[in-house]
Every structure is written in structure tokens, then in C-alpha cells.
Amino acid sequence: MEDTLHDHAVIPRTDDEKDKVLKRLRRIEGQVRGIQKMVEEDRYCVDILIQISAIQSALKNVGYEVTERHMKHCVTDAIDKGEGDDSIEELMAVLKQFSK
């Protein structure tokens, strides 16, 4: 991770913004524990797959949230400073990894 452009969000997240994302991530953590329980109880594979797919979906939504905020703050800030291309190329690299 040492080669990304910053260590912290360029425009700090507000407490509200953090809370919203944290709430979603805690819910996802609970869903992952839920699947562990399903495996322990030897539940039907398809039911487990449905739950994995629900987590994928929830994670994707967190990813979209983070991406949109990133564009509206960090990338916008970079463009305002005339350094947009580096920031856009960095984002493209992570989007490509994402959709793999």
C-alpha cells in the first residue's frame, strides 16, 4: 500500500461519514460470522452461497460509497490543483482490480 498517493483522506471524513460506513462494515462483519455458523451447522451449500453473495453485494455498496466520496473530494481536489491525471490513474487501477 506504500505506493498510493496519500496516507489519509485528503478532505478528512466527518464523524457522520465515518459512522455511516462503520455501521455498514459492522453489519458485514456480522454477516461473515453468520456464514461461519452456517458452516458449523453443516447448512446447505446453496444457502451459504446466497449469503456469500449478499455480503459481496454489501461490500460492493461500501466500495461505491468510498469511490464516490473519493471522486468528490480527493480527485476533485487533485484536479483543482492541476494534478488530476495521477489521481485518476490511481483510481482507474483500483477500479480494474475491483471488477476482477
| Binders of its own copies in range 5-34 (CB under 8 A) | 5-10, 12-13, 18, 21-22, 25-26, 28-29, 32-33
Query: Position of cell 458452516?
Result: 39
Q: Which long-range contacts (CB under 8 A, 24 or more apart) does 2-6 make?
A: 4/90, 5/78, 5/86, 5/87, 5/90, 6/74
- Residues contributing to the site for its own copies (CB under 8 A): 1, 4-10, 12-13, 18, 21-22, 25-26, 28-29, 32-33, 35-36, 39-50, 52-53, 55-57, 59-60, 62-64, 66-72, 74-76, 79-80, 84-85, 88-92, 94-100
